[in-house]
Amino acid sequence: MNSFTSPLDSSELRELGSVVAKYAQERASRHADDEIEYRRADFEDMAKLGLSGMSLPEKFGGTDFDALSIATALFEISRAEMGPAIYLSVHLMVCKLISSWIEDETHLALLQDMAAGKKLGAFALTEASAGSDASALKTSAISQGDAYLLNGEKIYITSSGQADVYLVFARTSDEGKRGISAFIVPATSEGISFGAKEGKMGCEGSPIASVLFENCRVPQSAMLGKAGDGYKIALSGLNGGRVNIAAAACGVSAHALELATSYAQERKQFGKPISDFQGLQFMLADMAIRLRASIELTRNAAALLDHGTSSNGPASIAKCFATDSAMAITTDAVQIFGGAGYLRDYPVEGLMRDAKMLQIVEGTNQIQRLVISRELLK
């Protein structure tokens, strides 16, 4: 019921799912629920399994997994604990964008380090006045001699302060979307600094913070693609990122359904397990229906990406449905736990707080609905 892979999948895909599940469950069991935090060692452990290089071709040291395999791995990581699935998903998107847009072997060493888990990547697009409308960004990149000088502030950046390399979107001219360029900025660059970790509702294992650029100096070779390619570069990563978030949503939903099912069988009221009451049986059935539909939409969107679809619809539909379902499923899990569900001592309220984030990141679900309706109406 809760498996991401199907019996029809290749044995390699099912093997990947079970290897990642074993690792992720073992890691999660090492930490109490109130000890969830970002740990660099987790990223290094995931790298030992080849997960940090999943989106990179072998020539860059990666394992060159297709979208369905990546989604399978992220599902299993998130089923145990969502945080590592989120920052790994961002890292994989940054790897993919850099490797797809470099024109020669520049940054080869960087990509090899990212594949090996020696360097963690972050994606720095959002600003105070540029969230859903990313094209409104103001961070500037002025060409000066053999360098660019970056000035501005990014907010809500996953892994800010922890990551070693930032894919930064900045304005090289005033020409709207065409004035945005992308830069590969190491954490050690002169003029870059990081805000304090934000206190957020959930997903403690994946920290966010601001990134500040004050005359941050990077060489001309730090530009990815050409001047003005930045917006296209950012958009080109979105479908993959959305499928990955959908997979993480399926993972947290599967976790919540597992916990709710066992609790319903153990907890007794009116002299019998609460799972004997049809009202709860129907809730569990509805949770299972939403989860199965989320998994199938996510698998379908991943498979279409692997077949080179140019449509944005399937990834947006999967992201929207799977993350709205994760919110509904985790909320129902809290309900099935009753008063215990509302307590920090039990794990389900944390899953509900984690799930909320997924409706906001990689384009809010309102933006996904815009993308879907645009495809319908064009």
Ligand X SMILES: Cc1cc2nc3c(=O)[nH]c(=O)nc-3n(C[C@H](O)[C@H](O)[C@H](O)COP(=O)(O)OP(=O)(O)OC[C@H]3O[C@@H](n4cnc5c(N)ncnc54)[C@H](O)[C@@H]3O)c2cc1C
Residue ranges in 14-73 that form contacts with ligand X under rule CB under 6 A: none
Check binding of 157 to ligand X (CB under 6 A).
Answer: yes
Q: Does 372 help bind ligand X (rule: CB under 6 A)?
A: no
**b/e burial code for range 223-256 (CB count within 10 A of at least 16 → b):** bbbebbbbbebbebbbbbbbbbbbbbbbbbbbbb
In whole angstroms, the minimum distance from the beta carbon of 366 to ligand X comes to 3
Q: With CB under 6 A as the contact rule, which of the stretches 17-25, 107-115, 306-314, 366-374 interacts with ligand X?
A: 366-374
The one-letter code for the residue type at 269 is Q
**Judging by DSSP bridges, how do beta strands 165-171 and 121-124 pair with one another?**
parallel
Closer to ligand X by Cβ: residue 123 or 148: 123
Among residues 222 and 355, whose Cβ is nearest to ligand X? 355
State yes or no: residue 236 binds ligand X (CB under 6 A). no
Please report whether residue 208 would count as binding ligand X according to CB under 6 A.
yes
Cα–Cα nearest to 296, from 252, 259, 253, 247 = 247
Residue 336 to residue 13: CA distance in whole angstroms: 33
Residue 192 touching ligand X (CB under 6 A)? no
Task: State the number of CA atoms in the 13 A half-sphere of 108 facing the CB.
Answer: 6
Q: Which of 6, 144, 262, 366 binds ligand X (CB under 6 A)?
A: 366
Position closest to ligand X via CB: 131
d(CA 301, CA 306): 9
Question: For residue 376, how many other CB atoms are within 10 A of its CB?
Answer: 8
CB 3 within 8 A of CB 17: yes
One of 4, 65, 123, 346 touching ligand X (CB under 6 A): 123
81 as an active site residue: the answer is: no
Nearest CB to ligand X, comparing residues 5 and 126: 126
CA distance 113 to 100: 16
Instruction: Choose, by CB under 6 A, the member of 23, 156, 231, 346 that binds ligand X.
Output: 156
Strands 268-269 and 272-273: antiparallel
Contact present, 290 and 246 (Cβ < 8 Å): no
Out of 90, 97, 352, 355, name the contact with ligand X by CB under 6 A.
Answer: 90
Total of residues contacting ligand X (CB under 6 A) = 19
Structure tokens at 322: 């799977």
Among 131, 225, 228, 273, binds ligand X (CB under 6 A): 131
Choose between 194 and 337: whose C-beta lies nearer to ligand X. 194
CA distance 251 to 306: 21
Task: From the candidates 175, 214, 362, 375, give the one annotated as an active-site residue.
Answer: 362
Q: Does 137 bind ligand X (CB under 6 A)?
A: no
275 makes contact with ligand X (CB under 6 A): no
Length of the chain in terms of residues written: 378
Q: Name the token pair of 229.
A: 């390619």
Per the CB < 8 A criterion, the answer to whether 185 and 166 are in contact is yes
Judged by CB under 6 A, which stretch of 38-46, 71-79, 292-300, 359-367 contacts ligand X? 359-367
CB of 287 to ligand X, least distance (A): 24
Q: Give the interface with ligand X as residue ranges (CB under 6 A).
A: 90, 123-126, 131-132, 156-158, 200, 208, 357, 360-361, 364, 366-367, 370
Catalytic positions are 362
